[in-house]
A and B are shown apart, each in its own frame.
Chain A
Amino acid sequence: MIAGLYIDGTSPLHRAGAGIKILAMIALGTGVFLIPDWPVVTVILTTVLVFYPLCGFGPSVIWAQVKPIFWLLLIFFAVQLWLNDWQAGLLVIARVAAIVLFASLVTLTTKTSAMLASLERAMGPLRPLGVNPEKVSLAISMVLRFIPVIATVASEIRDAQRARGLDKSILAMVVPLLIRTLKMADDVADAIEARSFDPDETAS
């Protein structure tokens, strides 16, 4: 699940600042697409792969990052094979894999809080335009936090409706999910208030 990607460690990449890692990710993504060149892509992909064991991650962690996009990579390859040739297909796969593996490496070695703190700093200059970085940061953290919670609620509702023989009814799934999610949103808002969150105060 998305919220559980960070793996604790003490490697140099774990210790590096979140802002630097995010900038490196943007630079790598842009570079790989601006220079569609075999030697460049090979060096970048190899470097990214070498970083995994340096950060204490084995082949299973690498595979876990590639697995969700494996079929997508095959489709990219097939399209390139059809439109161009197999070398072009391999180049596209290598470019996408390099970006995904580096993005995953950043997520695996960076705590959500550090990532959000960098985001808050980056959004600081937007404050005069009415953007509140603390609120944006809280909203993102809550998306990450509540994806698994809502998935659990959906699973409970699916089981309950299946027990009633309503497993084919979309309405029987969507309506209770919506109601419970809205109720949960009310409760979470209360809890955040009870925990003294004040975006204006934390900003000062």
Chain B
Amino acid sequence: MIRFENVSVQFDQRRVLHDISLTLTEKRIAVVGANGSGKSTFVRLLNGLQTATSGTVTVDDFNPAKDGRKLRRHVGFVFQNPDNQIVYPVVEEDLAFGLKALKLPKDEVHRRIDEILARYDLTDFKTHPSHLLSGGQKQLLAISGVLVMNPRYVIFDEPTTLLDLRNRNRVERAIAKLDQTVITVSHDLDLIADYDRVLVFDQGKIALDDTPANALPKYREMMA
């Protein structure tokens, strides 16, 4: 369970999030809003990439402000541009990067890598240079790099923005099949149409908090 209690974030003189209080228990949660509305700051609070200026964030038993490193193994984060997330030059090496911190036996590392590559049809690319993958394959590798850590939550920050339709659909299917709780920031409203809950951000506040069926038509009106 994720809980926000009176959370505000301020950068210099600019308040980015205003007094957010809510509890998230659903399996699929979408976060939408205009550019600069505070939605990315909101999700960055969940794994300690951002700390609250005031208020408290709790993710299960973790406090992101205090348990940053432990929490990041619990809450995976997939960024918009996979090129900025893939750190190693070869596919399997990049997948092993995050696992290094878990200090797993070698056999377990190999097992997890092979399993995740098979899940996303990337087995043939195991020893390929990561920069030679297609945009969709790179995004799937970035997702794999997070999932190989077995997180409890996965945050997606605009995961389909840079993809063509075919790859967008592949990523959508990949997200839909996840067992983890998923929190997706997106401008792609079709991607989140089947989600359990939508939070609409506007100027650092939650303007709407409802099911997609109720929230998305109102959000479209807001953005018209």
The answer on a CB contact under 8 Å between B131 and A145 is yes
- Judge whether B127 is part of the interface by a CB distance below 8 angstroms: yes
Give B141 Cβ to nearest chain A Cβ, in Å.
12
The answer on a CB contact under 8 Å between B101 and A202 is yes
Interface centre among A142, A152, A194, by most chain B C-beta atoms within 10 angstroms, is: A194
- Judge whether B114 is part of the interface by a CB distance below 8 angstroms: no
Say yes or no: A196-B96 contact (C-beta < 8 A), given A145-B87, A184-B84.
Answer: no
**Of B79, B130, B149, which one neighbours A145 at CB under 8 angstroms?**
B130
Q: In the bound complex, what is the Cα–Cα distance between A8 and B98 (angstroms)? A: 23
**Of B72, B85, B96, which one neighbours A113 at CB under 8 angstroms?**
B96
- Judge whether B132 is part of the interface by a CB distance below 8 angstroms: yes
**Of A111, A184, A191, which one neighbours B87 at CB under 8 angstroms?**
A191
The answer on a CB contact under 8 Å between B129 and A196 is no
For B146, the chain A residues whose CB sits under 8 A away are 195
The answer on a CB contact under 8 Å between B73 and A1 is no
**Of A8, A141, A196, A202, which one neighbours B88 at CB under 8 angstroms?**
A141
- Judge whether B55 is part of the interface by a CB distance below 8 angstroms: no
Q: In the bound complex, what is the Cα–Cα distance between A4 and B93 (angstroms)? A: 13
**Of B85, B100, B103, B149, which one neighbours A191 at CB under 8 angstroms?**
B85
Give A115 Cβ to nearest chain B Cβ, in Å.
10
- Judge whether B47 is part of the interface by a CB distance below 8 angstroms: yes
For A152, the chain B residues whose CB sits under 8 A away are 131
The answer on a CB contact under 8 Å between A145 and B88 is yes
List which A90-138 residues lie within 8 A (CB) of chain B. 111-113, 138
Say yes or no: A191-B89 contact (C-beta < 8 A), given A1-B129, A8-B127, A148-B131.
Answer: no
Say yes or no: A196-B73 contact (C-beta < 8 A), given A3-B131, A4-B132, A148-B131.
Answer: yes
Q: In the bound complex, what is the Cα–Cα distance between A196 and B150 (angstroms)? A: 13
- Chain A: number of interface residues, binned into ranges: 20 to 34
Say yes or no: A149-B83 contact (C-beta < 8 A), given A8-B127, A194-B47.
Answer: yes
- Render A69-97 as a binary contact track against B, CB cut-off 8 A, 1 for contact: 00000000000000000000000000000
**Of B69, B127, B132, which one neighbours A198 at CB under 8 angstroms?**
B69
- Render A1-32 as a binary contact track against B, CB cut-off 8 A, 1 for contact: 10110101000000000000000000000000
For A37, the chain B residues whose CB sits under 8 A away are none
CB closest chain-B residue, reference A149: B83
The answer on a CB contact under 8 Å between A4 and B129 is yes
- Judge whether B63 is part of the interface by a CB distance below 8 angstroms: no
The answer on a CB contact under 8 Å between A141 and B69 is no
- Judge whether A197 is part of the interface by a CB distance below 8 angstroms: yes
- Judge whether B90 is part of the interface by a CB distance below 8 angstroms: yes
CB closest chain-A residue, reference B83: A149
List which A156-204 residues lie within 8 A (CB) of chain B. 184, 187-188, 190-198, 201-202
The answer on a CB contact under 8 Å between A187 and B98 is no
Interface centre among B84, B100, B103, by most chain A C-beta atoms within 10 angstroms, is: B84
Chosen A-B contacts, 30 in total, with CB atoms closer than 8 Å, are A1-B129, A3-B89, A3-B129, A4-B129, A6-B90, A8-B127, A112-B90, A112-B93, A113-B90, A113-B96, A138-B87, A141-B87, A145-B88, A145-B89, A149-B131, A184-B83, A188-B87, A191-B79, A193-B72, A194-B47, A194-B77, A195-B85, A195-B97, A196-B72, A196-B98, A197-B100, A198-B69, A201-B101, A202-B101, A202-B103
| Closest 4 pairs (CB-CB, A-B) | A4-B129, A3-B89, A194-B77, A148-B131
